[in-house]
């Protein structure tokens, strides 16, 4: 059974930082491209960042220079370091694993940026 579990969300003031984690099980993590998405209230889910099996990364323009995606294959974990947070970053953040042509999603973790 494939399971992705996100953690690390919470309430943070504008300009603050958070680090999200996503632990995967039931897949060969090192063979999986990992992606972070987010969904704000009333909006569609949007892509945030991706890290390939080879460690290459790419970011949405809205987060480039502020967010960093990384992975630890030994821990089956992908991270999203979020700095200089803005109120518009408020959303539920989801991780997705792409393994053997299938996508698997976590349940999400809430990030709220407010003073």
- Does residue 47 contact residue 94 with C-beta atoms inside 8 Å? no
Residue found under tokens 């790419």: 58
Q: What is the chain's pLDDT, residue by residue, as a tens digit (115 residues)?
A: 999 999 999 999 999 999 999 999 999 999 999 999 999 999 999 999 999 999 999 999 999 999 999 999 999 999 999 999 999 999 999 999 999 999 999 999 999 999 9
Residue 96's DSSP bridge partners are: 35, 105
Q: What is the pLDDT of residues 12-36, one digit of tens each?
A: 999 999 999 999 999 999 999 999 9
From residue 82, give the alpha-carbon distance in Å to each of 20, 27, 31, 49, 58: 8, 26, 25, 11, 14
Phi–psi pair at 41, nearest 5 degrees? -55, 130
């Amino acid at each position: 059974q494939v399971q992705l579990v996100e953690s690390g969300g919470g309430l943070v003031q504008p300009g603050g930082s958070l680090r999200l984690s996503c632990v995967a099980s039931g897949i060969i993590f090192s063979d999986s491209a990992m992606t972070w998405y987010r969904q704000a209230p009333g909006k569609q889910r949007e892509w945030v960042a991706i890290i390939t099996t080879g460690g290459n990364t790419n970011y949405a323009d809205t987060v480039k220079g502020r967010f960093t995606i990384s992975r630890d294959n030994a821990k089956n974990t992908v991270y999203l370091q979020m700095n200089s947070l803005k109120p518009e970053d408020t959303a539920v953040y989801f991780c997705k694993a792409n393994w053997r042509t299938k996508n698997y999603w976590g349940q999400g973790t809430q990030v709220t940026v407010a003073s």
